[in-house]
A and B are shown apart, each in its own frame.
Chain A
Amino acid sequence: MATAVAVIQAIALLLSGMPASAEQSHAFVTRSVPLTVAPRGAALAQLVPSTAVLVVQRNGKFAEVALEGWSTEGAESVFFAHPGSRVILATLNPAGEQARRLKESKKDDYGTLWRKVRLRGWVRGDALGDALAPLWTKARALYQKRCSSCHALRSPDKFTANQWPTILRPMAKRAALTGEQHALVLRYLQAHAKNH
């Protein structure tokens, strides 16, 4: 289960008709970073740490990337990892919503309609890494240090990926997590959570 979501995401990118060519490669976002319409251009979205992307090309300090996720009707501004998921990959502004490409639909177990969506844009190259393991190591150390100072550390698989955002939120201030640390720890917990 360790990095299942992100790996599935990367494979999905590969199989969905966005294969990596000789110059293209898969990568992971290593910190919260804006996705822009061009290098140093207007913002389209904010990408969450650990989100998998396909690197289409590089240009100096920037990289053009493509990412894929699922959105529901009424939440077009959010890319979730898969139907029924509360794992947020990216949040889009109105320009980002406009720039999305819509793919197939699917209903989840509760009858909610989800749509696969894709978005392309540019990010700073130094916000990308080629492996998740170092990110999880960093997140785990931070989680260990901050979240054991009042009670026994809760194992990530104690809650589901969908429960973790609300479980973590009241704890973040008690654990003295900054916004960025909160985002990283949350994704770590979700990536190692209980299946449901």
Chain B
Amino acid sequence: MKVSRRQFVQSGVALGSAAAIGGGSAPAVAAALAPSGPALATRRVPTATHWGMMHAETEGGRLVRITPAKQDLFPSAMAEALADRVYSPTRVKYPMVRKGYLDKGANSDTSERGKGEFVRVSWERALDLVASELKRVKKRYGPDSIFAGSVDWHSVGKLHNSPVLLRRLLALNGGFLDDSGDFSVQAAMTLLPHIVGGIEVYEQQTAWSTILAHTDLVVLWGVDLLKNNQIGWAPADHFTYGALRELKRKGTKVVSIDPRKTDAAEYLGAEWLAVRPNSDTALMLAIAYTLYQEKLYDQAFLRKYTVGFDRFLPYLLGKDDGTPKTPEWAARITEIPAAAITKIARRMAGGRTMLMGGWALQRQDHGEQPYWMLVTLAAMLGQIGLPGGGFGVGYHYAGGGSLTAKAPGLPGISAPDNSVKVAIPFAHGLNDLLLHPGKTVDFNGEKVTYPKVRMVYWAGGNPLSHQMDRNLQIQAWRKPETIVVNEAFWTSTARFADIVLPVTSTFERNDIEVMSEDTNQYICAMRQAIEPLYEARSDFAIFSALAARLGFEAKYTEGKDELDWIRSFYAEAAKQAKGMQLSMPAFDNFWNGTGVVEFPIPDDAKDFVRHAEFRANPVVNALGTPSGKIEIYSKTIAGFGYADCPGHPVWLEPAEWLGGLTTKRYPLHMVSPHPKYRLHSQLDNTWARRLYEVGGREPMWIHPEDAKARGIRYGDIVRVYNDRGAFLAGAVLTKRMRRNVIAVHEGAWYDPDKPGEVGALCKHGNVNLVTLDKGTSKLARGNVANTVLVDVEKLPGRAPRVTAFTGPIEV
């Protein structure tokens, strides 16, 4: 913004300077002293990210600041680092090809992947290479040899949705191997349709207003509402923060069942039950046992709304296996005293109780069981469908419990029919797929046979960060002939690729979005703030160019450019809005104006209660289960005959845990929650990491007694290890951890001391060096991120330098 004559004249500096210059008219002086316009010209455009609606401010064409939109009442501070990220030294600048791959193509020595020697090539050459590989692999091996399935977090936007744009290209190319699940909620989304007819996890939760009005006890089970609501799949509106403030003000009793005292538990003054990790099902069973024995359970609810309690009861009472699931039994497993278990059961039954389950509960071995038992427990309490009662497994995510607007939907770019019908359960199966082609596995009552994968194409994600058992994965990742990655940053996934294509960030292109996922209250413009950096192109531009080489550019683009697509999505929403008697401004007014359309919240949105319709009339509104009711016993699941997921909830010992035999070698259990200052691995390559790193490494929370026993003090760099691998972290001693459990947030950038090698130490703190690559059970094949035993030692000598945040070695 140019300094105006009036502003300049009014400023003390101006007066002083004018006096110093001595003479001449005020406007002439002002003109002489005013800074050059274009170099400092500032612009402010509306945009959006996973952290919410915001503005991007530029000065002289450089992104200098991200500020929250006024609609965001509780902006997430870490979003400010998004401006820094654009200019990170980790930016992929040009198309690059791994040297060995450039020399030898599909016959390259794939063990060189990850070593980071890359050659810069022109876009023409890079695109020719990728297109010819797609043709070659498809022709020689068939479309199912190309794996491109991913559900990763990319960036928001209805057009520049990298994984979908990739699917669009490969589907048009004749098909590819896709995934069939979701790394976040695989166990829940596979189990719950059998039990309650729907997936629950991505559904609007019972409104917070009803909890504030009716709930006597909020039980937070393996969930941190404060930490996790900062981000959303669609831009987050942070509704939950206002609700939590009200909850605290009201003084509602809160209990947090978690190996760690979470931020939410601290804030709300919750009572903390420091449960042993992976023992949640046992605790729930013992609570159920108490409710049954003390006749505190709702028999009428069970009769009217559920089936199978009579088949589950013998197990609960120990009639089958001789082991009644008493509080004493559970105390040995959970390390929660029997008296505390009895007490919490009575408290739950003594008033209106809302059981809030986190997704961490089902990211453990046999992760289906805690969710099945949570629903069973809620059924026994009989409050499902009552205001502020029952259970919810989406309160920590994208503002669950917020107010749903009366609004049209906003469509996005799509992917056409995929000729390949087999799909891989994504949550546990990627390493398995690559290492064991031809293997047949059980999955949700069916058999899946792995094709042989020759080519992997990834866009918008970071599998070399999020997948379990990094050293196993490195071996798996050597199997394909060709790996192509579209990336904005030199993540470990880019470093392990053969061909890396540089993509633009959100701020270097135009797009459009909705805030938020559950409410649909706003449509927001995402206007381009700066020119693309270096040679970066959008995924849409990259894939359009590939489509041209593959002979179907017209089908890919439909003759529409970026803004045409955005207009078309807006037009579809406007058409729907009209049918709903809602008005939307003309596109140009929206786009060039505030960039925001707001929709109304109906009065009754605050009264929304999950399952209320079912409770009101379980016949008309029967659930989508075979019986129409909640299935405590499922004939369908029983019929699959899976020992690791039988017909009703059961306690099954995890593959490794504090109560098991392997504890002698590795006596600490590691949990790896979602980070507080990142979105998985996003933002680790910014100044944000300086807010939380300890000794330049990802923090590791450890109880002071466990630390003392190992001679570890606050700030020490430690080595976390087991048979599968090791990583370095920075010790934080805190009584917010229970004994024998450590917590390290997932997503710290992988930084191997010997790049590309199996068994390399991660110098920086990526948790997946020690995690277990196993499925939750044959039912869901979810990942078991939270089932890990390790030990920790103080690192002797000097810690090696962290080198993850640089570019590749260019040769």
Smallest Cβ-Cβ distance to A71: which chain B residue? B619
Interface residue stretch chosen among B105-113, B409-417, B495-503 = B409-417
- B415 & A148 in contact (Cβ 8 Å cutoff): yes
Tell me whether B296 is interfacial, beta carbon within 8 Å: no
Q: Would you call the interface of chain A mostly helix, strand, loop, or mixed? A: loop
Tell me whether A133 is interfacial, beta carbon within 8 Å: no
Tell me whether B158 is interfacial, beta carbon within 8 Å: yes
A172–B410 alpha-carbon span in the complex (Å): 11
Q: Out of B196, B412, B628, name the residue touching A110 (CB < 8 Å).
A: B628
Smallest Cβ-Cβ distance to A140: which chain B residue? B417
Interface residue stretch chosen among B199-207, B261-269, B696-704 = B199-207
Tell me whether B338 is interfacial, beta carbon within 8 Å: no
- B410 & A176 in contact (Cβ 8 Å cutoff): yes
- A146 & B414 in contact (Cβ 8 Å cutoff): yes
Smallest Cβ-Cβ distance to B639: which chain A residue? A196
- A176 & B572 in contact (Cβ 8 Å cutoff): yes
- A150 & B204 in contact (Cβ 8 Å cutoff): no
The interface size of chain A toward B, counting residues with CB under 8 Å, comes to 42
Tell me whether B7 is interfacial, beta carbon within 8 Å: no
Q: Which residues of B contact A173 (CB under 8 A)?
A: 407, 409, 520
Q: Out of B149, B193, B411, B622, name the residue touching A146 (CB < 8 Å).
A: B411
Q: Which residues of A contact B409 (CB under 8 A)?
A: 172-177
Q: Which residues of A contact B202 (CB under 8 A)?
A: 170-171
Within 8 A of A (CB), among B609-650: 617, 619-620, 622-629, 635-636
Tell me whether A152 is interfacial, beta carbon within 8 Å: yes
Name the distance in Å between B381's Cβ and chain A's nearest Cβ.
Answer: 22
Smallest Cβ-Cβ distance to B168: which chain A residue? A148
Name the distance in Å between A46's Cβ and chain B's nearest Cβ.
Answer: 14
A82–B352 alpha-carbon span in the complex (Å): 38
Tell me whether A145 is interfacial, beta carbon within 8 Å: yes
- A153 & B576 in contact (Cβ 8 Å cutoff): no
Smallest Cβ-Cβ distance to B573: which chain A residue? A176
- B411 & A77 in contact (Cβ 8 Å cutoff): no
A93–B576 alpha-carbon span in the complex (Å): 27
Check A178/B579 contact, CB under 8 A, given A149-B161, A169-B198: yes
Tell me whether A151 is interfacial, beta carbon within 8 Å: yes
Smallest Cβ-Cβ distance to B182: which chain A residue? A151
Check A144/B416 contact, CB under 8 A, given A155-B421, A166-B198, A178-B579: yes
Tell me whether A163 is interfacial, beta carbon within 8 Å: yes
Q: Out of A109, A163, A172, name the residue touching B193 (CB < 8 Å).
A: A163
- A167 & B193 in contact (Cβ 8 Å cutoff): yes
Smallest Cβ-Cβ distance to B426: which chain A residue? A152
- B415 & A110 in contact (Cβ 8 Å cutoff): no
Tell me whether A74 is interfacial, beta carbon within 8 Å: yes
- A78 & B620 in contact (Cβ 8 Å cutoff): yes
Tell me whether B179 is interfacial, beta carbon within 8 Å: yes
Name the distance in Å between A1's Cβ and chain B's nearest Cβ.
Answer: 14
Q: Which residues of A contact B198 (CB under 8 A)?
A: 163, 166-167, 169-170
Check A176/B576 contact, CB under 8 A, given A86-B622, A150-B161: yes
Tell me whether B408 is interfacial, beta carbon within 8 Å: yes
Q: Out of A146, A151, A158, A166, name the residue touching B197 (CB < 8 Å).
A: A166
Q: Which residues of A contact B520 (CB under 8 A)?
A: 173
Tell me whether B683 is interfacial, beta carbon within 8 Å: no
- B624 & A86 in contact (Cβ 8 Å cutoff): yes
- A152 & B149 in contact (Cβ 8 Å cutoff): yes
Name the distance in Å between B515's Cβ and chain A's nearest Cβ.
Answer: 13
Check A149/B628 contact, CB under 8 A, given A74-B617, A176-B576, A178-B579: no
Q: Mark B388-408, 1 if CB is under 8 A from A, else 0.
A: 000000000000000000011
Smallest Cβ-Cβ distance to B517: which chain A residue? A174
Tell me whether B307 is interfacial, beta carbon within 8 Å: yes
- A167 & B151 in contact (Cβ 8 Å cutoff): no
- B423 & A152 in contact (Cβ 8 Å cutoff): yes
A162–B628 alpha-carbon span in the complex (Å): 8
Q: Which residues of B contact A146 (CB under 8 A)?
A: 411, 414
Check A150/B164 contact, CB under 8 A, given A160-B624, A176-B409: yes
Smallest Cβ-Cβ distance to A88: which chain B residue? B620
Within 8 A of A (CB), among B137-163: 149, 151, 158, 161
Tell me whether A73 is interfacial, beta carbon within 8 Å: yes
A191–B171 alpha-carbon span in the complex (Å): 24
Smallest Cβ-Cβ distance to B148: which chain A residue? A152
Name the distance in Å between B706's Cβ and chain A's nearest Cβ.
Answer: 40
- A162 & B197 in contact (Cβ 8 Å cutoff): yes
Check A86/B628 contact, CB under 8 A, given A146-B414, A149-B411, A167-B198: yes
Name the distance in Å between A65's Cβ and chain B's nearest Cβ.
Answer: 24
Tell me whether B280 is interfacial, beta carbon within 8 Å: no
- B628 & A112 in contact (Cβ 8 Å cutoff): yes
- A164 & B624 in contact (Cβ 8 Å cutoff): yes
Tell me whether B55 is interfacial, beta carbon within 8 Å: no
Q: Which residues of A contact B149 (CB under 8 A)?
A: 152
Smallest Cβ-Cβ distance to A165: which chain B residue? B624
- A110 & B624 in contact (Cβ 8 Å cutoff): no
Tell me whether A159 is interfacial, beta carbon within 8 Å: yes
Check A110/B411 contact, CB under 8 A, given A149-B164, A152-B167, A176-B573: no
A134–B481 alpha-carbon span in the complex (Å): 43
- A151 & B417 in contact (Cβ 8 Å cutoff): no
Q: Out of B158, B579, B619, name the residue touching A72 (CB < 8 Å).
A: B619
Tell me whether A7 is interfacial, beta carbon within 8 Å: no
- B417 & A144 in contact (Cβ 8 Å cutoff): yes
- B619 & A73 in contact (Cβ 8 Å cutoff): yes
Q: Which residues of A contact B164 (CB under 8 A)?
A: 148-150
Name the distance in Å between B194's Cβ and chain A's nearest Cβ.
Answer: 8
- B197 & A149 in contact (Cβ 8 Å cutoff): no
Smallest Cβ-Cβ distance to B418: which chain A residue? A153
Smallest Cβ-Cβ distance to B405: which chain A residue? A173
Check A175/B411 contact, CB under 8 A, given A84-B626, A164-B624: yes
CB-based closest 5 A-B pairs:
A176-B409, A166-B198, A149-B412, A74-B619, A176-B411
CB-defined A-B contacts under 8 Å, sample of 5? A86-B624, A144-B416, A163-B624, A178-B576, A196-B626
**Interface of A with B (CB < 8 Å)?**
72-75, 77-78, 84, 86, 109-110, 112, 144-146, 148-155, 158-160, 162-167, 169-178, 196
